Amino acid sequence: MGRIFEVRKSAMFARWDKMAKNFTRIGKEIAIAVKAGGPDPGTNSALRRCFQNAKSVNMPKDRVEAAIKRAMGKEMVNYDEILYEGYGPHGVAILVETATDNHVRTVANVKAIFNKGGGAVGTSGSVAFQFKKMGVFKLKPEGIDQEELELELIDAGLEELGESVDENNNTILVLRCAFNDFGNLQSALDEKGYTTITAETEWIPQNTVELDEEKSEELLKLVDKLEQDEDVQKVFHNLK
C-alpha cells in the first residue's frame, strides 16, 4: 500500500494538440483491436479496453464508431506495432511504441528526433531489459477500501496497488500486474463491478535516473518531440 511511483511525465504540448493526438492514438488502437478480435466489445476485451480509454480522454462517440467502421472497411489501414529503443541526453533510457503503416517513414522520423535531441536509437534489446512491461489500471478511489481491493484481486495477478495523481492533480488508484496477467486482472475488475478510468500496458523502469532541472528539460523536450510524431503511440523513459 502507499503511493505508486511514476516517472516524470512530459506536459509540454498544448491541451488541444494533446487531445487530437490522444484521439489518433486510440483510433489506431481500435483498428488493431478490431483486426485482431472483431468489432464486438462483448467478445473482444482489447476493444472493450479501447472504449474505456477513449472515454477517459473524452473522445466523442461518433469518432469511436468511425474508427470501428474504418477498421472493418475495404480500405482498412494495417498498422504494425514496432518498439524502438534508445538513449536520450544524459543517459536516460527511452522506449518508443509506434503503430505504423510505413516502416521506412517511422524509423527515419524516430532516428531524426533522437539525433536532433541529443540522443541515439539503439539496437533491439539494448534498452528494454531496464524496464518491465506491466498491465496498469487506474481507478477513482472514492468508495473503495484499498485493503479489501487488494485481497480481492491478488489471485488475479495484482502485484502493486497504491495512490498517485492524474494530470489535473486528482488522486487516483493505480493497480499493476505482470503483462501476462493483464486479461485476468481486467476480467476480475469487470466481474467485481469496478469501473476503470484507463486500462493500458506500460513499460515500468526498474531503476531511474535523477537529473537537475536544466538537464531534465533537455530530456523532456526530446520526449515531447517523439510524442508528437504521427506514428508514435507512447513514450516511456526512466527519468525520475
* Span 79-127, pLDDT tens digits: 999 999 999 999 999 999 999 999 999 999 999 999 999 999 999 999 9
Domain with CATH 1.10.10.200 in the chain: 15-72
Q: What is the mean pLDDT of residues 133-151?
A: 96
CATH superfamily label, 15-72: Integrase, N-terminal zinc-binding domain (1.10.10.200)
How far, in Å, CA of 214 to CA of 218, rounded? 7
> Alpha helices of the chain — where are they, by DSSP H?
15-37, 45-56, 61-72, 103-116, 146-153, 182-191, 213-228
Domain with CATH 3.30.70.980 in the chain: 80-129+206-237, 131-205
The more confidently predicted of residues 78 and 18 is 78
Q: What is the mean pLDDT of residues 167-190?
A: 94
Q: What is the mean pLDDT of residues 64-82?
A: 90
How far, in Å, CA of 38 to CA of 160, rounded? 32
Cell of 216: 531534465
pLDDT at 11: 60
CATH superfamily label, 131-205: YebC, transcriptional regulation domain (3.30.70.980)
What's the whole-number average pLDDT of the chain? Answer: 93
C-alpha angle with apex 27: 129 to 113, nearest 5 degrees?
A: 50
pLDDT category at 32 given cuts 50, 70, 90 is very high
For the chain, how long is the longest CA-to-CA vector? 51
Cell of 140: 477513482
CATH placement of domain 80-129+206-237 = 3.30.70.980
pLDDT at 8: 75
- The answer to whether the predicted template modeling score (pTM) of the entire model surpasses 0.85 is yes
